[in-house]
Structures are given as C-alpha cells and as structure tokens.
Structure 1
Amino acid sequence: MSPRIFFALALIALCPRAGAFAPISFDHAVSAYENGNHAEARIAFERMAEAGMPEAQFNLGVMWLNGEGGPVDRVKAALWIDTASGAGYQPASQARDTVVGVLDDEQRAEFVSQRQDWTREHSLQALFQRHRARPCSDECSSAADADAGTTDPAGIPPTRITAGHTSEPLQLSIDGRQVYIDRIAPSYPRRATERGIMGVVRLGGWIRPDGALEQPHVIGADPRGYFEEEALRAWKQWSFKWAEDEAPSSPIYITQRIVFALEGEQVQGQTMRDISTAVERADEDPEAAYRALWMVEQFELPFADEVAVEAKTSVINQAAMEGVRRAQIDLARRLAYGHDVEQDRAAAIFWLKQAAFEGQAEAQFELARWKTLDPSFRADLLHAAVTGGFLPAVLWQIRSALDANEPDRDYVASLLDQLPREWRNRRDDAVIAQAHRIASGD
C-alpha cells in the first residue's frame, strides 16, 4: 500500500471559493484543497504544474498518489514529484525516493522511459529557456505598438504627453476595422511638473458602433495619484469614427496608454545617472534594472537609443525569470506583438500565466481575453479577476451578464457589489443603470 504524503506548505486561510470555478492563484488552489474542493484544486495545480511551478508540481503529484480529485496514478505522481525535486523544491526532494520506491517493476520502467521527456517538457528552467524573448531581426513586424495584450489587438499606440503638447488625429485598424480617432491631450499636472515627476496611465473603454466611448476607466497608473484625473478627463473627450460599412455590431473593448514625460533640463541629471547605473548592474538587481529600462522606454529619455535591443531583451528576460510580475506582463505584450522581439504568442501566454497564477488580476484579465485558450480556463481567469475586484474585469462581466437572454438577477447584483462605490452609484451610465434594474427585478 502506498504511503500518503500531505502538503508540506504554510497554508493560507482564505475565503471559500464560490461556484464551480477552479481557482487561479496558487494560494486559492491551496485553500480549495483545504476546503475539500479536490477536483477544482487538482485542475488548478495541473495548470500551474504544466507552467513549471514546482510547488504545484509537488502538490499535483501528491493528489495523483492519493487519488484526491481524480484517480490514482503512481507514475504521474512520481514524474511530477521528481520534476519538482529537480527544481530544488525541498518537500519534493524529501518525498521523491519514497514515491519512486513504491512503484512496481512495470511502473518503474514507465517512469524511467518518460522521465527525460517529462523533465524537458515541464521543468521551470527548461520552460524559461524555451520561452525567452529573442531580439527582433530585420524581418520582425514593426506593427507592435498596439497595447491590448490580447489576440484581438484593440489597443491604440501610446500617446506621449509633454507640457503644452497637442495630439494629431489617428487612423488605425482596430479588430480589423478602420477607425478615425481625434485625440485630446491632457494637461500636464502642475504638481508633477514642479516635482519633476513623469508617469504612465493605462486606460480602457468600449467603442460603440456609433463611435461613442462607453465606460472610460483607469486600468492603472505609475506612479499613482498624479496623472489619473487629467488622463481620464482627456480620454472621455476622444472621438471615434468608424470607416463606412466597418462599424462593429457590438462595442469593442480598447486600451490606451498615456505617457506623461518631461524633456530637456526638466529631467534631473542625477535621475539619468541612477537609471544608467541600474541598467549596467542588471545581474545584481534585475528588478531595479527592469524599472530603469521601463523608464528609459516609456519616457523616451535622452539615451534611449543607446540601449541596444539585445541589452533590453536581456534585462526584461532576466527580470521576468526572477519573478518580477510587471516584467512578466510587459514581456508577454512584447511577445504577443513582436515589439523589439520575435513574435511568439505561445511564449506570451506562458509569461501571462506566471503572473496570473501569482494572483495578478491584470494578467488574469488579459489572459482571459485570449480566444485561443480553453473556454473553461478563460472563465476561471475572468472569475478570479472579478472576485479580485479588478475594475475592467468587473465591467466586462457585467456587460456579458446583461447580454444573456435571461440575465441572472442575483449574479448581476453580486457583480454590482464588486464595483467601487463611485461606479456602483453611477446611474447616469447606461450599462450600470440597466444592471441595477435587472438586480432589483424591475
């Protein structure tokens, strides 16, 4: 009889998962297991294990060994625990010999025959090497500025704002349809100018068939508290006009990145020296190097052109492999569109998974919008982002719920509860007003 091996983890007490959704983050998967939801936990750990997470590989192996959430399979248990052990995960290393030791002759032969290929397919280091970004060659696509993070690029090239800046009209293809965009440039906040602060705001919204922008909102800002108000005020004033006979049948979600940058003498020399030093010391501090690279690129700082594409790619690869979540999401977007790197959408999905499985709602939402993924996985991702209170995901799900033939009153009400108060009380918003009518039974 095989020994039972239990999770050697510092379990985190989390609220029980609602509904039949499989958890996305590792902590929630552990919570699901502890709450007896073994089938859902097994699905979650399998997804994470296939993405190279050693802790999940060990836990999945334990579940295969003990028949929790599915049948017993000692060979798969041994393969997963062996892979986690090879990654240096201590509980797996302690359990490996015991698990392999209970295999019978036939099972051991199967384990040995599969082990090399299994490790090559699932070990984290092998996956890192397989999904590394490679600098763009001359043949790489130059149409990489779209900033949607999905397989249906509906982003607009970033708008760069400086003091006194005006923006030129754009003609773009969004979701394969031509649209004309008149952009209103936001004011550069005086408080930011006086302090020499630069920043980036990511915005979202839905373009209706008539060209109106619905539910414009802030996705995120770096730094917070300086630029969001001005960026959103300008975003609300943008106008969109679809080319003749190219208007969509329903609203299309788009994103926009507005970069607030200072120029010339307004950029302090010390800041520039600090950034240069950080890039040079990437091996010592990958996160600081990535942050410096991000500033160089976002704000088009004076020596931006001096940083070779190879150096940029090396810095972002290293930061992503070190677990810097922002770098993982950024790298995924670059890979999705071939921005300075060879386009590789499988690698883009891999890096989004790394961030999503660690609970990053932005990555969960972006990954949920990849139409090539399994529908149940996409539903689980979206559910995770919604329950995490990520505003774009909540708005997206409210719209989806209202599109149903018979919207679920209780579900719509629960989605409204996920909104921040200023959005929940926004009765002048047609979508929110309709959701309130459904939720109240009117």
Structure 2
Amino acid sequence: MTATIAYQQQHFEQARQEFLQLARLGNVDALYNLGVMNLHGQGQDKDHARAFAWFSIAADFGLSEAASAASLVYQQVDDKDPLSALKQSLEQDFGYQHYQRTLQPHFVSSVSQEEDLAPQRSHFLEPVYPPEAYKKGLEGWVWLEFDIDPSGAVKDLEIIDAYPPQEFERAIYNAVSRWRYQPLLKGQEVQTYHSRSLLYHFSTHKGRRYRESFSRQSNAYQQRISELIERAEQGDALVQYYISNWLMTEQSNAAMLLRRHYQQENAQGEVLLGAAKNGYALAQYRLGSSLLRGQLAQSDRQKGLNWVLQAAQSGLAVAQYRLAREILDSSDIQQDKEKAANWLSQAAKQGHFRAIRDLAELHLQQQNWQAVTALVAQGLQQDDDHPQLLFIQARLLAGQNEFQAARKKASQAIDEAQSRGWYQQDIQAWLVQQSKNQLSD
C-alpha cells in the first residue's frame, strides 16, 4: 500500500491524501491511521477532536483498537460538545452507514459466478491446455471480456489479465472466439451484448498426472501459499486479488491449499473486496462488474457503478470503457453522451480498442468527420480489416458525398464480417437504402 510506505517515510501529506482516498472505500486501517496522524500532529497540527472522530468511525467498522483509542482521546478532550458534530460531519462521506449504502456488496452462496443475464451459449469449444504447461503441472487463469453481436458471435475479445503472463492467453482466445450464443433479437430490434466477462482457470486436477504433479510440488506450494496468505492479511492488495482469483475454482493445486485457510463460504468475494478497499483498480473493476451482472454477490447496479467508477478514476482503461457503455446502454441511467464520450476518450488514448470503436461510432452520429477519421485510423492499426470500422468508414464517405467509395467500403465490410462469422445485416440494409436514395435522386 503506497499510503503506508509514504507514512513510514514520513511523507505525511502524501500519506494523508492516500489514506483519505482509501477511507472513502471503507478501508478501516486508513480510518484508524487518519486518527493516529491527527492525534500526533503528523504533517499537521494536533487535533484531538478530529482524532476522536476518525477513531470512532473506525470503531463503527468493528476495529476494537479504534474503540479503545477513541475512549482514551475522549478523556483527554476538555470541550466535548463539538465531538459528536465533527463525527457526524465526517460520517457523511466516510461513515459505516454510507459505506453500506454505496459500496458494500452482499455476498451469498447461491449466486452463480457466471452471468445469469448473459445470452445462452449455443456452441462451446474447450480451450486446449498448452502441452508444455500441462507437462510441467503449471496452472493458471485468464480473465477476458468480449462482446456478443446480434447473431450470437463473439467479437472483439480482450484479455484483461492473466496468470502466468503469456502462458494461456492464446489457448483461451482461440477457443472463445469460436463460441456462439443465442441470437440477440428483441422484437424487430437487434442488440449487441457488451462486456461479457469470463475468468477461466486452467488446472491439472484430472487423473494420475495431477496427483503426481501435486505430490512433487506440495511442499513448495504450501510454503509459497503460506507466504502469500501472510502478505494478504497484511493488506497487500495485489496478493489479495490473486488469491481471490484462485479461490474462484476448487480444482487447482493453489485453490486446494488456500481453502485450508479460507474456509468461509464466500471467501473469494471477501478477499476480492479487501483488494478493492485497498485501492487495487483491477479488483475494484472485477467487483463492480460482478455487482452489475449479479456474479459473486447479489446484483446491485448502483454499488457496481460506484466500484467501476473508482477503477475508472484510477486510470484503468477497461473500467473507463465499461462506465461509458453503462451510460450509453442503460435505461435507468440518464443518457449523457458527453460524459460517455469523455470516458471513451480517456480509454481510447490508452489504446483500448473497443473504446476507439465506440467513440468513432459516437462521433459519426454527431458528424464530427475529423474525429471519426482519426479514430478509425487508430483502430485499423490494431485490426486493419475490422468490419465495424470499415462500416464506419463507409458511412463517413457517404457523409462526405463520396457514394461510390462508400458502397465499395461497405461491401468490403460485409465480406470481412462474413469471413469472421459476424452479423452483417445492418451493413446490407444500409447498402440497400443507399441504392434507393441514389435512384430517388
């Protein structure tokens, strides 16, 4: 935790600012440390009344040491009248009830780790375990997101995180890109399902090879796992995040050993929450995404958005993209295209492909031709024949009265969509309409 490091190095102003950010997430250690800093005048004048308020709020979160500290400080304060008012003031942004209302997930054992609201998968291809990894007994996981187009095809697959890096990504990419889902048709409207999230584990748990590899590695595993558990309990957010991901399967060597310590039913969610409260953006995004889709915990849209916002404000591109899409897609959120465009722009500047794609579409609707041209060029550097980008190019050319070039580009988009097995009826319908317009002219 960088706040703790700053505090230990006596960079008190930096520590105070970072503790304040963590305190807003319900981080009880940060609340307690703010009390300590006010009590001892670290980086500021001593303020016993404010120290009492911070300790009292931390005590409301269940920290017994904070309750004892608050009691001792209370005895040292001569004028006790302002204490309650100061605590109530801080509670508006940092109090336990505020945390419960805005951020605290409700973990329940009956909630599936899969997305109940996702379209039903109609074709599944099992990822091929990389032979060398399997031979070594190497295990890991990949967290990915993708969109599902109206025909049920998987498109624009994005690897968000993986462990170990560069080991299993290709295997999961090759498999998931061939999955199919039930078509997304609602009456006469077609829909795209954005940001389907999947955490896939590769584990060598089956058969004799598993037993042999686990037997060889058991002692080394156990020592390493013990070290990781200790780091997690000391508040190491990265380790908490990794442990949570391992706990989401019961079939890996690491998960089996971790379960000896984390025996509570909802351990994976609680550990993930710890990482999020300790400021780790990937954990905040995973928690927020889970709340939005009803994974790990009961679905809670506002709390999910609050966690995604925390990750987006930390600069995580995939969270910035997700926030923009929620604004654009959701009927229960006031559509604010300017705000959505701002989040898409921040993600696009980091090279996030889906943000580039959707921001180009948004600017096309607003006839910002120059912005569309630049974004399409940026996107085509990552995927030089992407059907949707080619279709955007076609409509851009039509908007600039270059109709022949527009029809040619749209035909190219159809061909490429067909080769990928993606939905193309929208492009075909646009071409038909363009032909009608030309005849009427």
TM-score by length of 1: 0.58
Corresponding residue for residue 150 of structure 1 = none
Contact 1:144 1:337 in 2 (8 A): no
Counting only pairs closer than 5 Å after superposition, residues 64-79 of structure 1 correspond to structure 2 as none
The aligned amino acid for 1:431 is Q
1:271 lines up with 2:233 in the alignment: no
Aligned-partner Cα distance in 2 for 1:50–1:191: 42
Counting only pairs closer than 5 Å after superposition, residues 255-294 of structure 1 correspond to structure 2 as 255-257=196-198, 258-263=200-205, 264-265=210-211, 266-267=213-214, 268-269=217-218, 270-275=220-225, 277-279=227-229, 282-287=232-237, 288-294=239-245
Contact 1:135 1:309 in 2 (8 A): no
Aligned-partner Cα distance in 2 for 1:420–1:397: 14
Aligned-partner Cα distance in 2 for 1:51–1:248: 45
Q: Deviations over 1:153-190 (max 9, x none)?
A: 54xxxxxxxxxxxxxxxxxxx3xxxx452011222122
Aligned-partner Cα distance in 1 for 2:294–2:192: 27
Aligned-partner Cα distance in 1 for 2:273–2:323: 19
Contact 1:51 1:354 in 2 (8 A): no
Flag the structure with higher helix content.
Answer: 2
1:324 lines up with 2:275 in the alignment: no
Q: Deviations over 1:131-150 (max 9, x none)?
A: 3334426xxx5345219xxx
Aligned-partner Cα distance in 2 for 1:338–1:430: 32
Corresponding residue for residue 136 of structure 1 = 108
Corresponding residue for residue 16 of structure 1 = none
TM-superposed deviation, 1:386: 1.8
Corresponding residue for residue 351 of structure 1 = 307
TM-superposed deviation, 1:359: 0.9
Aligned-partner Cα distance in 2 for 1:334–1:419: 28
Q: Deviations over 1:250-286 (max 9, x none)?
A: 4332424233222233453223552355336632243
Contact 1:398 1:435 in 2 (8 A): yes
2:115 counterpart (141, 146, 157)? 146
Contact 1:87 1:123 in 2 (8 A): no
TM-superposed deviation, 1:192: 2.6
Contact 1:386 1:418 in 2 (8 A): no
Aligned with 2:343: secondary structure? helix
1:421 counterpart (381, 393, 399)? 381
TM-superposed deviation, 1:239: 2.6
Aligned with 1:365: secondary structure? helix
1:189 counterpart (124, 130, 150)? 130
Aligned with 2:125: secondary structure? coil
1:382 lines up with 2:351 in the alignment: no
- Bigger-Rg structure (1/2): 2
Aligned-partner Cα distance in 2 for 1:187–1:338: 29
Aligned with 2:382: secondary structure? helix
Corresponding residue for residue 291 of structure 2 = 335
1:242 lines up with 2:183 in the alignment: yes
Aligned with 2:111: secondary structure? coil
Counting only pairs closer than 5 Å after superposition, residues 43-442 of structure 1 correspond to structure 2 as 52=24, 93=44, 116-123=87-94, 128=99, 131-136=103-108, 142-146=111-115, 153-154=117-118, 174=119, 179-242=120-183, 248-257=189-198, 258-263=200-205, 264-265=210-211, 266-267=213-214, 268-269=217-218, 270-275=220-225, 277-279=227-229, 282-287=232-237, 288-298=239-249, 300-301=251-252, 303=256, 307-309=263-265, 311-370=267-326, 371=330, 372-373=332-333, 375=336, 376-402=338-364, 404=365, 407-419=367-379, 421-423=381-383, 426-427=384-385, 429-437=386-394, 442=402
Corresponding residue for residue 45 of structure 1 = none
The aligned amino acid for 2:289 is R
Aligned-partner Cα distance in 2 for 1:301–1:213: 27
Contact 1:407 1:438 in 2 (8 A): no
Structure 1 residue runs without a partner (length 5+): 1-7, 11-25, 27-47, 54-84, 97-110, 148-152, 155-173
TM-score by length of 2: 0.59
State the superposition RMSD in angstroms: 4.4
Q: Deviations over 1:285-312 (max 9, x none)?
A: 4332442232232463362765313544
Contact 1:413 1:435 in 2 (8 A): no
May I ask how many residue pairs the two structures share in their alignment? 322
Structure 2 residue runs without a partner (length 5+): 1-11, 26-33, 48-81, 403-441
When residues 334 and 416 of structure 1 are mapped into structure 2, their CA distance, relative to the original with a 3 A threshold, is same
Aligned-partner Cα distance in 1 for 2:274–2:289: 16
Aligned with 2:122: secondary structure? strand
> More displaced, 283-292 or 380-389?
283-292
When residues 399 and 232 of structure 1 are mapped into structure 2, their CA distance, relative to the original with a 3 A threshold, is farther
When residues 434 and 279 of structure 1 are mapped into structure 2, their CA distance, relative to the original with a 3 A threshold, is same
The aligned amino acid for 1:358 is S
When residues 360 and 210 of structure 1 are mapped into structure 2, their CA distance, relative to the original with a 3 A threshold, is closer
Aligned with 1:200: secondary structure? strand
Q: Deviations over 1:9-51 (max 9, x none)?
A: 99xxxxxxxxxxxxxxx9xxxxxxxxxxxxxxxxxxxxx9899
